Amino acid sequence: MNQPLIIALTKGRILKETLPLLAAAGIEPVEDISKSRKLIFDTTDPAVQLLVIRGSDVPTYVKHGVADMGVSGKDMLLEVGGADLYELLDLEISKCRLMTAGIKGAALPQGRVKVASKFTNIAKRYCAERGLQAEIIKLYGAMELAPIMGLADLIVDIVDTGNTLRANGMEPLDLIADVSSRLVVNKAAMKMKHQRIEQVVEKISAAVVAKR
């Protein structure tokens, strides 16, 4: 009954924007996360612990119920699929766009198109919806290099300022989705720890509204 509520957080830029929202809900790590190599953190709320992990792993931890809740980019949720968890709240942080992009002014080849991305499921769905015959190439970073080096015709990637695309002679093409960080909850935890989760969600929700 008194098991702690475990919240999985995405490390990096999203974490910096998440911590003030959690603080507004009375949840603050008891030590400086940025100065620690630890992965599990106690908080000022003795009933809440934080996990700090890669964004691509947050939905997995929440789906398996190892974490009760999580903060995940919409891009990750679209990539891994949202089944087994509830997307309760748009935190309105880390906003960007998931887009296709290609070399400026370049026409797509006839027939099969090579698409590089770390979001291979999203890329596959995008191509299927448009009837594009595609070879999907999995990359883990620096997607912008792929068209320049002839590895791909298109990329599917996050665009924020557009500076990375511009600096590499590329242009954004189709908008696939607007992205921001979302608060997700494991479906079983939602039943078992309903009251606690609801309290936390309400406070975070109020902090999101106050920040507008």
Q: Which of residues 131-150 bind ligand PRP (CB under 6 A)?
A: 141, 143
Question: CA-to-CA distance for 51 and 37, rounded, in angstroms?
Answer: 12
Interface pattern 21-60 for ligand PRP (x via CB under 6 A): ----------------------------------------
Window of 36-44, 130-138, 145-153, 162-170 that interacts with ligand PRP by CB under 6 A: 162-170
For position 195 contacting ligand PRP by CB under 6 A, the verdict is no
Choosing from 56, 120, 164, 168, the residue that interacts with ligand PRP (CB under 6 A) is: 164
Backbone angles phi, psi at 102, to 5 degrees: -150, 180
For residue 92, the minimal CB distance to ligand PRP (Å) is 18
Residues 6+ apart with CB under 8 A from 21: 91, 93, 204, 207, 208, 211
Choosing from 161, 195, 209, 212, the residue that interacts with ligand PRP (CB under 6 A) is: 161
For position 157 contacting ligand PRP by CB under 6 A, the verdict is yes
Question: CA-to-CA distance for 154 and 116, rounded, in angstroms?
Answer: 6
For residue 163, the minimal CB distance to ligand PRP (Å) is 4
Question: CA-to-CA distance for 103 and 150, rounded, in angstroms?
Answer: 10
Q: Are 183 and 17 in contact (CB under 8 A)?
A: no
**Cβ-based nearer residue to ligand PRP, 54 or 64:** 54
Residues 6+ apart with CB under 8 A from 166: none
Which residue ranges make up the site for ligand PRP (CB under 6 A)?
141, 143, 157-164
